[in-house]
Amino acid sequence: MTERIVLAYSGGLDTSVAIGWIAEATGAEVIAVAVDVGQGGESLEDIRQRALACGAVEAYVADARDEFANEYCMPALKANALYMDAYPLVSALSRPVIVKHLVAAAREFGAMTVAHGCTGKGNDQVRFEVGIQTLGPDLKCIAPVRDLALTRDKAIAFAEEKNLPIETTKKNPFSIDQNVWGRAVETGFLEDIWNGPTKDVYDYTDAPEASPAPDEVIITFKAGIPVAIDGSPVTPLQAIEQLNRRAGAQGVGRIDIVEDRLVGIKSREIYEAPGAMALIAAHRELENVTVEREQARFKKTVDQRWTELVYDGQWFSPLKRSLDTFLEDTQKYVSGDIRMELHGGRATVTGRRSETALYDFNLATYDTGDTFDQSMARGFIEIFGLSSKVASGRDQRAEA
């Protein structure tokens, strides 16, 4: 039986050419796998037909938008996941769901090798291959761009020689990856970190300085998950999509960062994530209302470690799985409403209410009705500062 190789297929030039390139280099049949995580553009059927026209013997396509939103974006929301306090893991979150479908396709079609279109200097090669090795330890991985010297000029020449149904002349100056959680843009003139981004960099967001009238939105959460917007029930996918539109119209979610890549280099990245950033801001504030202080303090450490693991391609790791259990426990009472104003590039919380809040008005108020016994404070301060007081006395005696 002829060897089969599963290829992560986007429908673009590089992966379309990779179908024939891999076949010629290895003698194997290629199975193209396209996974919709909300990137927009062409339909899955159009992509499937192109893969077949480019020489794939089979084309596996999957609408994974709800799966991506429910099983990948929502855990990231519960972790308030922002790599380097800025990047909401737009690409990093999509890789494990694609990996899951790649491995499933390899099993279905009897392939022993999985291929992807990543270069040798990016994070995604690690995310794909670590994920594939974890879910399918018996599978091998190849990367045509990295391993088979498939450069862009060679890809264009190959496409023209084989008369492939793919655009080969128009070259976008940027490398773009997008899904429902956000959009990532790099390369081109952005590689000079002194250059400011131009208008054509952005697609998910309008210019903040040209914002329309402020947009007030109420997001309802249940156990850390958005379940309604302005009182109307939504799925996680619908919540992200609605806030992408509304927050994006106000210029919310533009991120310009020099990022520490997993492979050890720094890279300038532009991100747009209006829905993700609005939801994280709302979720974080609801946690401030509902999560106990010591638990919240420790959760910040877990959030950061969880985020680093996902960024580094360790979605399926034992530690990530253990941290998931902790994070899920913290969300038990993260339910209620957050009112936000979206305007001028900012998502600003203006109101909070929750049946499970730890905020007690009668304890917090300074007016009549205050139930906090202030007489307890003096003794508390004495005990709280006792160890420092004793140590200070020791220091002063030693220095005398």
Instruction: Indicate the annotated binding residues.
Output: 8-16, 87, 117, 119, 123-124, 127, 175, 259, 271
CA 353/CA 313 separation, integer angstroms: 37
Residues belonging to the binding site for ATP are: 8-16, 117
Q: What angle do CA 287, 289, 292 make, to 5 degrees?
A: 75
Backbone angles phi, psi at 191, to 5 degrees: -70, -20
Q: Which residues are designated catalytic? A: 14, 95, 124, 175
Burial (0-12, 13-18, 19+ Cβ within 10 Å), 264: exposed
Residues belonging to the binding site for L-citrulline are: 87, 123, 127, 175, 259, 271
Which one-letter amino acid corresponds to residue 196? G
Sheet containing strand 140-142, edge to edge, reads 58-63, 29-36, 4-8, 113-115, 140-142
Residues belonging to the binding site for L-aspartate are: 119, 123-124
